[in-house]
Structure formats: structure tokens, C-alpha cells
Structure 1
């Protein structure tokens, strides 16, 4: 074997090892629990009334930690602007979400910590995962769980390729997971905190990234200036 071929062979081995290590970081998806059901997923939508949600947030990964406060300006059916401010009066950043398009100008921190579009919409209570070929659903008490993707008669724990697992507590969206080849790569949860305030948690298992948000106030307003939806 020539030196060049040997180097390529070693590089390929390292690449395979790196991919295997990443896969090991993601937990296996468990089989769906509960009784099989043909129940239709509850409808989800963003309220038409212009609304401001104020929140506090914290973020961490292997190399960085940050926290602060922020606000979401939300308007149905499919518009939201998220502003993040770092603690101690430091600069922040923002993101504009319109339908399936996410724009994140400015500092890299916001790009680094935000989930992808389907999970970002899930944080706001709207189910917007890509269209799926198959759906498997089970009812466990008052919790409806469903796997969506190319399932080939199985649930997402045994499927090949990408799938989404969603959970509804009653009629409210409570959890969304992105699953690849039976591994949970990332997930987002919505749950009531103290005094009923909404708490969100986003975790990217492979990237070891965690974003926690606690909504402190929700206010309906008359409207928003169209300029907030435009990238500056």
C-alpha cells in the first residue's frame, strides 16, 4: 500500500470511528407504549392575535454557557420573532421564523443554541414536522404518542432513516423528538412550571447542547410593525 493510500485508509477509519462515537452519544428510541389507536392528532395552531411572550433563558454546551432574558412576538398562522438578550446588559441577537424559513442574523450564539424549524415551532405549540409516509399512534392514559416517518410497519424505535415522535398531553403538544436510525438525536418538551408558567427544554443529544426557557408573561397586543419581520 502506498503512503497516500495508507493515509486515505486511516482517514476513512477515523471518519467511521467518529461517526460511531456520535451515534453512541444519542440514546436509543424506546418502543411506543400504550394501546394502539387510530385517534387523530389534535390540531395545533398559532393564535391569530398578536402576542408577546417574555421569558428567561439559559444555554450550555461542552464549551460555553450563557443566560439572559428575551421575548417572542408571535402572530398566527405562521410568524414569530425571537429576541435574546444576554445577562449583564451585554448584546443579544434575534431570529425571524416565517413558515418553514428561519433567518438568524447577527451573533453566532443564537444560531448555535436554537433548534431546527420543526422543533422551534413545537416550542410555540405548533406541530410542523415534514409530511410523513406512515403514522403509528398509541394512547397511554391521557397521553397520545405518535411516530411519523417511513416506518414500514414498525414504530420509530426500529425504523431506518429519519422519523419524528410527538406526544400530546390532552390536546396540548408536549414533546417532539427527531429520531435517526432508531436513535433520539434531539428533542423538545413543553410543560407547565410553577404557577402554570410554560417551561421549554431543548436538548441536542449528539451536540450536547441544552436550552431552557421559562415564560414569565404573555400579553396580547394590538399589532406589530411589519419591520420586525424583515432582516436588518
Structure 2
């Protein structure tokens, strides 16, 4: 048990003694919320009316090969994989466990994600908007409000029902997107002012593409290092169908 959690539980116990059960239940709820997801920070940068850069999947059929590692509170795994990607909105992801063990796959077409087979892939993949973000495509649900700020060449925008505020102060669900220049670099899902999950993409120290997905509440992390990107002639239509 962490010192912070032990301290919080101690506070709750003292509340039981001093204030009774009702307030203790409220305190437990507040402790649980605080331990689930961090508070979203206020949107940084100067206000701007800049339009979000377009994000599209290239029409040319492309294969991205990668290594991956996954970890949550009870499980760890790693291995190799490949993404077969074709614009405007098709991708197939294959994951292979290290040491030649069986793997799994997922098919992403538009807003539809199909994950047959073993539960591992279901367990570690992000939801559709963040999965598309990993491939450089912004595909969050339609929202009513947008607040954008510019910090140098970094453009950040909050999308949701904001009512003149940013996502850190908004009720309900919001999305925060970050562009480095014209490249999509990060997408976050924020609920009730708390950062629930996020996906980042950008070059590593060696210049190759690195992806990271983190679910703060579920304490899940998937890291992907792209090792090779190859344009191919085409794909068999069978790869888009569930077996």
C-alpha cells in the first residue's frame, strides 16, 4: 500500500469517529475518485482561431511493423506486430506474442472495431478514437464547442460541450487534441475534468515513430515502437473480414 493511500484511509477512519458514517461514505467516494484519474490541466497557450490541420490516412496501402509491450496491474506481455493501413479509413492490426506464441488481431473500418479471438487484444487496445489517433487520424465524435490555444508551433484544442470553458472545467466528456506543427501528436479523453485515458505519437530518440496508450483509471499501458514502414501494391480483401 502506498503512503498516500494509507494516509487517505487514515483520514477516512478519523472521519468515521468524528463525523459518523454518512460523511465517511462521502469521504471514501472522494478518495476513490482522486485515485482513479488525475485532474486535467487548464489548456495552455494563447487563444487562437486557428483551424485544426487535416488528418488523413494515405491512400497507398502501407505496412507498419512494430514491437510492443503491454502492462496493467495484473498482467504483462510483449512481442511483435504489424499494421496494414489503407486510406481513407481501414486498418488491420496483428499482434504476436514473444517466443512464437499465438497472438490476435483487430480490424478497424471507419467507426467499427472488430476484435475476434483471444481476449488479450481486447484488453490492451484503446477505443476507436484513440486507436485512429495512433495512426495519425483525428476521429473523435462530433462535439458542439471548440476552444483552441497556440503555444509556439504547438496547437491544442478542447472539443466538447464546453460553454466557454476548457475541458479541465467542463462537465461530462471532452476531448483534448494536440498538434505538433501539422502532425497529430496527442489525443486525450477527459471526463468531468479528469484525464481518463490518452494516446501519444511522435518520434523517439532514433527518429522512428513511437506510440503510447495509457488508461489512467485502469492503470493500463501499451507502448509501440515502429521499426519499418513499407508501401505495398495492395491488400487481399479477405484481411478486412472476420474469420
Would the TM-score normalized by the shorter structure come out above 0.5? yes
> Could you list the per-position Cα deviations for residues 61-84 of structure 1 after superposition, in whole angstroms to 9, with x for gaps in the alignment?
000000000000000000000000
Change in Cα spacing, 1:15 to 1:87, as seen in structure 2 (3 Å) is farther
Q: CA deviation at 1:215?
A: 0.2
Q: Is the 8 A contact 1:22 1:206 kept in 2?
A: no
> Could you list the per-position Cα deviations for residues 101-137 of structure 1 after superposition, in whole angstroms to 9, with x for gaps in the alignment?
0000000000000000000000000000000100000
Q: Is 1:42 matched up with 2:53? A: yes
What TM-score does the superposition give when structure 1 sets the normalisation length? 0.92
Pairing partner for 2:183 from 158, 166, 172:
172
Q: CA deviation at 1:194?
A: 3.1
Q: Which runs of 5+ in 2 are unaligned?
A: 1-20
Counterpart of 2:9 in structure 1 is none
Counterpart of 1:116 in structure 2 is 127
Spell out the pairing of 1:139-158 with structure 2 (5 A cutoff).
Answer: 139-158=150-169
Q: CA deviation at 1:17?
A: 4.7
Q: Which runs of 5+ in 1 are unaligned?
A: 1-9
Q: Is 1:220 matched up with 2:231? A: yes
What TM-score does the superposition give when structure 2 sets the normalisation length? 0.88
Q: CA deviation at 1:216?
A: 0.2
Q: CA deviation at 1:14?
A: 7.7
Pairing partner for 1:26 from 37, 40, 46:
37
Q: CA deviation at 1:150?
A: 0.1
RMSD (Å) for aligned C-alpha atoms:
1.7
Q: Which has the larger displacement, 116-125 or 17-26?
A: 17-26
Change in Cα spacing, 1:193 to 1:186, as seen in structure 2 (3 Å) is same
Aligned length: 221
